[in-house]
A and B are shown apart, each in its own frame.
Chain A
Amino acid sequence: MYVAVKGGEAAIANAHRLLADRRRGDRSVPALRIDQIVEQLALGIDRVMAEGSLYDRELAALAVMQSRGDLIEAIFLVRAYRTTLPRFGYTRPIDTAAMQVERRVSATYKDLPGGQLLGPTFDYTHRLLDPQLAGDPDVVEPEQRETDGQRMARVSEILAREGLIEADGELPEDHLTGDITREPLEFPQARDSRLQALSRGDEGFLLALGYSTQRGYGRSHPFVGEVRIGEVEVELDVPELPFPVTLGRIRVTECQMVNQFKGSAKAPPQFTRGYGLVFGQSERKAMAMSLCDRALRAGELGEDITAPAQDEEFVISHSDNVQATGFVEHLKLPHYVDFQAELDLVRRMRGEHEKRNQINENDQREAAE
């Protein structure tokens, strides 16, 4: 005797109780603290802040703890929180030339004003597992020097002096900066909205698309003009005050990709640019973003659109991992009403198919006789 399944509520409550248990794990092992996550899993936190589009290390760490280390789940938690926050206003554009730079490398010049600074990078580490880390060894203090307080000019500015690289571009006077969190998504997008979407797009997705452009699917001959990581001030114009107010400092990674361009009907031969900017330290994401940004400018520069990475609607519609994971995972929700409809159709068509075969067989038999 079938009894309709009741007790969804109890099942959900018990599932969540088990989840809480599994999240905590063995109680004899000390619980993680938020400050430990902030300090020692900093790059994971950076990714959660970037793709969650909320700059708050503690909240991101809480999300990582709550999500058992599932970063996309943590990003989702942060997004669902940020969307409830009231909007006070929009800050002034950050000035990355005034960045307190911790890392800055250029692949296009051997040396340049401000110099090359390796900073805290995995580059040139040999990827050998270090068993000593498990024993919490003493770590020596880093070498540091006083900053000279000078602005560090961006490579794009250096090239611009010769007129060999396209300028920053101009938006119409009356252009209000887009806000993809407040306005419906519509295509084609202005570049500001597109960059916002890329900046919080999934790192893995953009990495794969950027990679595809290198392998010939929308090739754009890129050079890393420079990538820099460091802290910048965030300033807000307050109507009552004649000067901008500094709200604080944020760490960002900026990448300026310089791309060869032979010129087209629309633009003269010159270097073009792809731009990447993300919260925290994430060179991989900033570089992938700048490759995608450049690829997506194909239409604007009069290039043929032939590859997935150049297709704005394709890239932007699928770059958000919170959307993607939700829709992929919704397939586990019940679909039995629709499945029943399909089952019924297949059974009917199957029945007709078998009837037809039967008739054909009989016809053949009669013909043979």
Chain B
Amino acid sequence: MTTAATEIATYNFAYLDEQTKRMIRRAILKGIAIPGYQVPFASREMPMPYGWGTGGVQVTAAIIGPDDVLKVIDQGADDTTNAVSIRAFFQKVADVAVTTETAKATIIQTRHRIPEHPLTAGQTLVYQVPIPEPLRFLEPRETETRKMHALEEYGLMHVKLYEDIARHGRIATTYAYPVKVEGRYVMDPSPTPKFDNPKMHMSPALQLFGAGREKRIYAVPPFTRVVSLDFEDHPFEIQTFDQPCALCGAEQVYLDEVILDDKGGHMFVCSDTDHCEKRQACGHRGHLAPEALEPAQ
């Protein structure tokens, strides 16, 4: 199962050599065994820059097989340039089937969103993580934060959330909102909007998190409790939108704001492009949707 690139350089199936894959799989297994714990791993240089999904790409490369069906999204969309690039990478080095349909994918690599369509058992969601440490902006030192996790010393985080309420009347964290996993580790869900946090809780899918530059892997196994941090008198709330998607009319989904002109005109559309297209194909229409769908390309 090798793909010859050129005569000078040849690459293994899914780019990484088998020893590296084994090392990453061990880290993943350890992560699954200790939900929410950040497992250090010997992250490799990848042929895309650090900070552009190298952690997610390594996790995907370590778990992908020839029979998998891969979906890659960035900001919820399959057609953003970096998602296109990562999808093309796996088509090239692993020759796997790809899809944009959430339900048909066995592995979904994502940056900044969890798909709207509920995930099912047997699916794996791979998150690209820039800063895996939820305590990093409270304490910059890795040596300190590892100690804090070991001692379950999360007071600092609660103080931060409390100070938000004292200052702004609410918790002013809108994305990368910290969660507690299975009652033990405080975990960064990656910079997904807090809107997506409830989807992590008791999900039937396996959730894997890869941070390449920071050399950490962590995991949330299926059917694991994932609770967003909050206070009794300030319960966790997700974002709500005042209007439905302008294209498919969906409510209770995450919307992107699109600027239409330079006179303040804007519209809100589904961030999850697959979800939006599926709904339109079923005949749902928002107030700015074209009457008839253009034939699929």
A residues neighboring B (CB under 8 Å): 1-2, 4-9, 11-12, 76, 79-84, 86, 181-188, 313, 317, 322-323, 325-330, 333-338, 340-345, 349, 352
Contact = CB atoms under 8 A, between A and B. Distances in A.
Contacts of A185: 40, 215
B49 A326 contact: yes
Given A8-B84, A80-B47, A338 B112 contact: yes
Given A83-B44, A84-B9, A329 B84 contact: no
Contacts of A5: 79
B74 interface: yes
Interface of B: 9, 11-12, 15-17, 40-47, 49-52, 54, 74-77, 79-85, 88, 111-113, 130, 141-143, 168-169, 172, 174-176, 191-195, 213, 215, 239, 246-247, 254-258, 260, 267, 269, 271, 273, 276, 288, 290, 297
A344 B239 contact: yes
Nearest to B15: A84
A185 B50 CA distance: 15
A84 B290 CA distance: 49
Contacts of A1: 288, 290
A11 B256 CA distance: 22
A184 B215 contact: yes
A269 B111 CA distance: 55
B80 A313 contact: no
Nearest to A181: B42
Given A4-B276, A184-B215, 5 more contacts: A2-B260, A80-B47, A84-B9, A329-B49, A333-B52
A188 B144 CA distance: 11
A337 B15 CA distance: 30
A340 to B, nearest CB: 6
Contact of A337 (B193, B258, B297): B193
B49 A330 contact: yes
A349 B9 CA distance: 55
A178 B158 CA distance: 38
A334 to B, nearest CB: 5
Contact of B213 (A9, A326, A334, A341): A326
A337 B271 contact: yes
A323 B213 contact: yes
Contact of B82 (A79, A181, A333, A352): A333
B45 A341 contact: no
A86 B17 contact: yes
B112 A340 contact: no
Given A9-B88, A86-B17, A337-B193, A80 B269 contact: no
Contacts of A7: 79
A327 B213 contact: yes
B165 to A, nearest CB: 13
Contacts of A81: 9
A225 B82 CA distance: 50
A222 to B, nearest CB: 27
12 contacts: A4-B77, A6-B79, A7-B79, A11-B81, A82-B45, A83-B44, A184-B43, A313-B143, A333-B74, A335-B75, A335-B191, A340-B271
A4 B273 contact: yes
Contacts of B84: 8-9, 12
A313 to B, nearest CB: 6
Contacts of A12: 81, 84-85, 88
